[in-house]
Structure 1
Amino acid sequence: MSERDEQSAPGLASDASSSLLPARSDASPSVLRRLRLRHAFGCKGGSSASTSETAADFSSGGFSNVFTRPSYQSTAVSSYLTALGSTNSGKFNTFGCAFPDIATQGVDFEIVVGGRTEGVDGTSCASPKLAAIISLLNDRLIAAGKSPLGFLNPFLYSAVGTAALTDITSGSNPGCGTHGFPAIRPSASTQR
């Protein structure tokens, strides 16, 4: 795909006057490293973050113009849209599938290249990390004679799933001349 095709392809670009569409990051790795969130971890029978988690401002997220919202997202997305109010009104498909369903750390990974360590960031770090976590959970379930997790999305929105995960409620994903979609905590009246 040429650069021109990428800029005009659905879901890759937008102008602020029409609609918010997910966009790829054009930031260089050095820019991303400057934007890294610093996490300090302390161990006490496991790991725990000593700093709060924040939505990455160089990330993507929003609502699909292709796929409709699945039923398992209904309660959570309705609550979010109520809390969002008129922010970005008319610039996104309020009936579209919301994404992402889940996210994980995507910054401050150390790798070894040519015998030297260097820091890397991005989806290429976050995706395998999440896959490894799910694989470890499935391994424990199978070892206990239980079924693996399977399709996760309905579980993620269930009462058990939401209790097991941390909701990110600060930060946003700005773009297209807007502040993007803020990570906000729905009011108590809109939560299940």
Structure 2
Amino acid sequence: MGLYVINNNNNNNDTTRKHVHVHNLFILCNYILLGAASSCIFLTLSLRLFPSLCGGFLILLHVFTILGAVSGCAAVSNGTNRWYSAHMVLNVLTAIFQGSVSVLIFTNTSIFLSKLDSYVREEDGGVILKLGGGVGGVIFFLEWVVLTLAFFLKYYDIVEGNNNNNNNGNGKVQQDGDFKDWSLAFKV
């Protein structure tokens, strides 16, 4: 029985160590997302000082990417489900749109550049736009990495018993005594 307790503590320490490594990687990826999204904003603004409607939507997409990264950092530091949910929703939506915009930039560079009403020569604007599309592709990849890391962080919180819904620390989601608050229709 004593051997089981020692192994259980080692398992808990391994989980805690994994949690710390995933946490640090998650924060690092969010910081990289912040930098990449802000650089995409500046690349878009370099094509035209006052953005067109299409450029405004592109900048708004990068602002949402920044908000997703900030909410991810807040979710990790706060540990509340509200920030975690906001982070997941923002990252899924911005990842889908970042990937779509990146593909559009690489497949239809001249059409996309004309929609931005750029003041820059077309050759130079195409290079700047493809740079932004490349960074957008990196953002797309990083957002899915961040979503995966956020899932593992939530998993480790539940396993370690740090979840807000789990006060007993044994990894069980809900105790049998909690069913008394439910109506009779939902009791099994």
Same fold per superposition (TM over 0.5): no
Bigger radius of gyration among the two: 2
TM bucket normalised to smaller: under 0.3
Per residue, is there more helix in 1 or in 2? Answer: 2
Whichever structure has more strand as a proportion of its residues is: 1
TM-score normalised by length of structure 1: 0.23
TM-score (norm 2): 0.24
